[in-house]
Every structure is written in structure tokens, then in C-alpha cells.
Amino acid sequence: MIENQNPFFTVYHTPRHTVPFNLIRTEHYEPAIHEGIKMQEEEINAIIQNPAFPTFDNTIVALEKSGAFLDQVTTVFGNLLSAETSDELQAIAERVMPLLSEHSNNISLNESLFARIKAVYESAEKEQLNPEDKMLLEKTYDGFIRSGANLSNEQKERFRQISSELSVLTLQFSQNHLKETNHYELLLTLDQLDGIPESIIESYAQTAKEKGKEGYIVTLQAPSYIPFMKYSANRSLRQQLYMAYNTQCIHDNEYNNTEIVKKLVNLRLERAQLLGYSSVADFVLKRRMAENSRNVYNLLDQLLEAYGPTAQKEVEEVQNLAKQLEGADFQLMPWDWAYYSEKLKEQKFNFNEEELRPYFELSQVIQGVFGLATKLYGITFKKNEDIPVYHADVVAYEVFDEDGRFLAILYADFHPRASKRSGAWMTSYKEQWIDEKGNNRPHVSVTMNFTKPSADKPALLTFSEVNTFLHEFGHALHGMFADTTYQSMSGTNVYWDFVELPSQFMENFAIEEEFLNTFAKHYQTGENIPADLIQCIIDSSNFNVAYACLRQLSFGLLDMAWYTRTEKFEGDVRAYEKQAWKKAQTLPDVPETCMSVQFSHIMSGGYASGYYSYKWAEVLDADAFSLFKEKGLFNRDTANSFRENVLSKGGTEHPMDLYKKFRGQAPGIQALLRRNGII
């Protein structure tokens, strides 16, 4: 291949030097990755062979800047592997992941390089560094220690093998889950859709049409699965769909993840023990706000005690309604929960969430969410159709600060497709950093799986989807406001249990009348959302909140059970799972189901020993938002303080220090308990 035909090897002649997705072909990745590895090897050798005494600039900063080209290529490749994948991309991933793992190990296990890093770390220069430089030095030194730099040669070899195996296994886990999700479809006739709202029926018809079939197709993708479970009056079909969803990757087929789970858990444990830790959790939590598993369990147990009694009452209330409707012998099962919960919600608050959809047309929601950022921070968004995108669904925006300066690029990708994994996430195509050329601004992306437009209706979102948008947009703001010297510490490069604060903080606005009135208009009439509907949203915001809390706690307990282990796992995955989260379960157990085999967050998504982060950050976000409630929802001084002390600082300071600078005090769970009506 001629290098100048590969867009990765040229300067990007695109607006703001954005990724030229229109020019990149599948065959471009591997040559660019191989070249990137070679380039960084040369950069590392130059650091090692520098005859000058090791200094912060010639060693730590030089290492920080190395690998820029490789990072550029792998960032695009890795992001599209999740957002716009294909069999060809996945085949490339299987070939290059072990190479990238080996390359990473070649750096972190390089004795000569570590000797220079250690020399800087132990030198008198360390005390003269500014706080951000000192943080980079400590992060670099600690990162090498945690990546095996102090191991014996024999241990280093085993460390390499483990890292390589993990890179392959996490990829296989994700691919199996995506394929299992895409493999399933439930083909129905109109008379089997009793109870389903018209807008959802239209989307099922659209799915069937896209698949070239007559009738209505329900899939395991969230915008399809969730409404069916919530509204379908056909209990046997709810059970059928529930079982399909909750037995993904446990069937006797090529997508079974059972053995992969065992291998992932055991390899991570072996790696942690190689590094001198008794468990994966001990290793991971040393670099978290929580610090250790005792503090994690303390939080989980506190919340379990606070929310448990209320959760039991919520379940009893739904069970009682189901018995009223179906008979005294009716046993509420997990596939009944969403359906009868919705019935109870309608009864208690006199509204159906589907009534909200007409007021949450996607383009209006976009205006509302962007407008919220304008009110809080003064930033503005301008669509730029000249910026190349990786799929026709994606929209690219230029983001400008209040003074008109360019701030960031934002890509928005809203709808599900077979080539995109499930869920919602924020990522970056380019991080922020400062160098001699100036402040290099970031290119960030929010990727979701929202309700698609139908043949005769635009995309009308659920209230939950509006919440998800706000959540991912919070992550995006964290990325877009980044203002640090070093890329590895900018934006969302923070402690894992701090990263969810900016995202969950934004969700608080979803039930605020002042915010809803800025954008929620009927997509046909243009009328504002009625005040009584807004009141229903507010009144129902804590509906079954304790049940939802225990559900999250059960996931946190499962995660901790897998990663506080000190011995190799050789048991039954399903049985272990059910014991692990037993004390947080509120509905009858279904023996055939299994979460671990499809729990991407903790198996392939970076949340191993970290799922508690959502609840940890919820404590922070409730406490933080209480200040906005006190000072004014759109108070610019409070917002600018949040931007300055939290959103722009990245990982340059300890997160608790950043939080205290914003809030003036350490957080406690009281604000969360008050918000949820527990106290």
C-alpha cells in the first residue's frame, strides 16, 4: 500500500482537523497500527538513549508525548469497533489486540525506561515541580509499578502472557454479546401486541420492514425491549422476551461467555497477585476515591440499610396491585415487574409515561440539552455538515465558548443499528492538551440507542432516554471543558469513581420545571408541556426509587464478589452470582438467568471492582446539585465554580480536593436520601 493513500499518514484536511471518516477504509487500520507501534518504539528508544541525566522534560514529558500517531489510529479503530463495527473490523481486532498488548508491555516492562523514570521520581527536581507536573510524575511512576516494572524477569513474562490473553478475551466477550443481541428477534402479529402504545407498534413494524419481513419484530435492543416489558398485556410473551434477554451468552452455542468469565476473573486475580495484591479489588481501589473494599462495602451496606425497607414496601405495593388485577394467587415474577409497576404508576399519578413522548421530540430535546449548557456556561453549538462522520445517523457540531473561542467538536450518534453495541457512552476522538502550538481542543462523542423515527413520526423519546442524553452529555462537558497541560490527565481521565459525577449531576435537571419549560413542546401543535404533566414527572420521580437503588446495589455486590476473591474461581458461574447479590434481591429468582456472562461493564468495559462508582457518584451528584437548588438552578457563579473546580481540571488533583473546592465541604449521603424521599 502506498502510504499517501492511507489518510492516517497525512495531515487531516478537514474542518478543525477532524477524523476524515469519509476517506478511511478497513484496510487502512492495520498498516497504520503497525507503523504507529514502530514510531513509538523509536520514540521510546530515543528517551532511553538520551545521554543527558534524566529530567522531568527529557523523560516524563517525552514519554507523555510518545505514541501520538498510534493513539490517533487506535482511538478511531477502538471507537468504531463499538459504534460502527463489522466482521472485518472484528477480525482485525483479533489480530492487533495481542500486538497492542505486547507493545504496551514492552514499554511498561522496559527496565532502562523505568530506571530513568525512577531517577526523576527520586531526584531533587521533584520538589520543584508545579502540582500538575508532580501529579504527572507520580501517575507515571505509579503506573509503571502497577504495570509490572518491579517484577522479576520470570514474572514479567507471565505478566505479558496475562495481558495478551485478557486483551483477546475482553474482545471475545463483547463480540459474543453483540452477536447474541443481534441474533434474536421476536416476530409477532398485531393481535399479540395488546397494550403496546401505537408509537411503539409503529417502530416494531419498521423493524420488520427493515428486516424484509411481514408483521412486527421485537428485538433485545433497549428501545425495543423496554417498552414491550412495560406495556405488553401478554404475560407469556413478556416471559419469553425476558428469558431471551436474561439468558444471553449462557446458551449452548458459540456465543456462550461462561468460560470467558472464569478466565477473565482468574487472570485478573493472577495479575493482581503477581503485583503483590491479594485481590483485584485491592489493586484497583488503591487508585480510587474509595481507596479500599471496606469503604466500598460500607457505602453499599449503608444504602442497603437505608433503602431496603422502602424497597420491600414498593415490591409489596406492586404485588398487591397485580393480585387485585389477576387474582389472589398471582405470583409477581421479574417479567411482570415493569408491566405492573407502570400500572401502579398510572394509578398513583394519573399519567402514562407514553403521554410524555410527544413533548420529547429528539430535535427539541437536543435544543433543550444544548440550551441548558448555554444557560449554565454560555457555550453554543453549531452544526457543521462539512465535518465527516462515520455513519449517516451521526451529526457533528462545533462548540464555542462564551467569548466566541472554539471549544470542542461534539459528535452525536443517537439511534440503534446492528453495527453498534447496546447501551450509551461518551468517548473522545481527540483529547485536550497544551503544547508550544497552543491549547489543542478536544473532539468528543456521545453515542446512544434511542427510539428511532418511524415512517410517519419523528424520533419521540421516553423520559428515560432524555435522562440518558443528559447523562452522556455530562460526560461530554467533562471532556469539552478540559483545560490541562497533559493529555493523559485531561477531561474524563480521572479516578473511576469520580468520572460519573459530571454525568449523573446533569440528570438532576430532568425533573426541574424551569428546564423542561425551555424545550418540551408538542411535536405537532408546538404547545408547551402542560403544567400538570410536569407535576406528574416531579411527583413520580421517586416512584420505586428504592427498588432501583437495590437493583444497582445488587450489581455492585456482584462486581465486588467477583473481584474481592483471593483464590482462583472454579465453581458454577450462575450459582456464584445468585449467592453474591442475594441480599439485594427483591423479586423471585429465575434459575436459568445469568447476568455475569453479559455484564460488559465489569467483564470487558473497565468497571472491574468499579461498578459501585455509580452509587458513589450519586452521593456526590446529589450533594453537588443541592448547591444549585440553594443558589438558583441556572446560577452562573455556581456553574462556573463547578466548571472551574471540577469539569476543567481532569485528573490534575485528587478528586476529593477538587470536590471540596467546589462544594466547600466533604459529601455525605444525606442529600441523596432527601432527594429520594428516604428521609
Does some domain include residue 295? no
pLDDT of residue 1: 40
By C-alpha distance, which of 333, 445, 437, 430 is closest to 393?
A: 445
Q: Which residues contact 605 (CB under 8 A, 6 or more apart)?
A: none
Same domain, 225 and 371: no
Same domain, 146 and 190: no
DSSP 8-class letter at 383:
E
Does some domain include residue 179? no
Number of independent structural domains in the chain: 3
* Cα distance between the two ends of the chain: 66
Indicate if the pLDDT at residue 390 is higher than 70: yes
Q: Which residues contact 474 (CB under 8 A, 6 or more apart)?
A: 502, 503, 504, 505, 506, 507
By C-alpha distance, which of 118, 116, 141, 4 is closest to 49?
A: 116
CATH number for the domain harbouring residue 434: 1.10.1370.40
Same domain, 64 and 136: yes
What CA–CA distance (Å, rounded) separates 336 from 606? 32
Same domain, 199 and 57: no
Same domain, 443 and 517: yes
By C-alpha distance, which of 13, 63, 15 is closest to 487?
A: 63
Mean pLDDT of 652-658: 95
Same domain, 122 and 236: no
Does some domain include residue 669? yes
pLDDT of residue 169: 97
Does some domain include residue 257? no
pLDDT digits (tens, 9 = 90+) for 354-387: 999 999 999 999 999 999 999 999 999 999 999 9
What CA–CA distance (Å, rounded) separates 292 from 380? 41
| Catalytic residue selected from 472, 500, 577, 618 | 472
What CA–CA distance (Å, rounded) separates 285 from 510? 32
pLDDT digits (tens, 9 = 90+) for 55-112: 999 999 999 999 999 999 999 999 999 999 999 999 999 999 999 999 999 999 999 9
Scanning 286-435, the segments in alpha helix (DSSP H) are 293-326, 334-349, 362-377
**Among the three residues 221, 246, 271, which one is the final residue of a domain in this structure?**
246
- In this structure, what C-alpha cell is assigned to residue 260? 470467558
Same domain, 128 and 214: no
Same domain, 36 and 141: yes
Does some domain include residue 266? no
Does some domain include residue 459? yes
Q: Which residues contact 517 (CB under 8 A, 6 or more apart)?
A: 528, 529, 534
- Do the Cβ atoms of 624 and 617 come closer than 8 Å? no
What CA–CA distance (Å, rounded) separates 654 from 646? 11
Q: What mean pLDDT is reported for the chain? A: 96
pLDDT digits (tens, 9 = 90+) for 447-456: 999 988 988 8
pLDDT of residue 4: 61
Residues forming beta bridges with residue 398, ordered by sequence position: 382, 409
Mean pLDDT of 167-182: 95
Same domain, 91 and 192: no
pLDDT of residue 2: 45
If residue 411 lies in a helix (H) or strand (E), which one and from where to where?
strand 406-413
pLDDT of residue 353: 86
Does some domain include residue 426? yes
- Do the Cβ atoms of 208 and 187 come closer than 8 Å? yes
Indicate if the pLDDT at residue 321 is higher than 70: yes
Indicate if the pLDDT at residue 123 is higher than 60: yes
- Which position has the higher pLDDT, 161 or 496? 161
Q: For residue 215, give its domain range.
A: 185-246
Same domain, 491 and 635: yes
Active-site residue 592, yes or no? Answer: no
pLDDT band at 3 (very low <50, low <70, confident <90, very high): low
Looking at the chain, how many residues does it have? 679
pLDDT of residue 53: 97
State residue 343 phi and psi, 5-degree precision: -60, -45
If residue 9 lies in a helix (H) or strand (E), which one and from where to where?
none
pLDDT of residue 509: 97
DSSP 8-class letter at 509:
G
Same domain, 458 and 519: yes
Q: Which residues contact 122 (CB under 8 A, 6 or more apart)?
A: none
pLDDT of residue 361: 97
Scanning 247-292, the segments in alpha helix (DSSP H) are 258-274, 280-285
**Among the three residues 226, 246, 266, which one is the final residue of a domain in this structure?**
246
pLDDT of residue 454: 84
Q: Which residues contact 114 (CB under 8 A, 6 or more apart)?
A: 144, 149
Does some domain include residue 338? no
pLDDT of residue 352: 86
pLDDT digits (tens, 9 = 90+) for 184-209: 999 999 999 999 999 899 999 999 99
Same domain, 505 and 621: yes
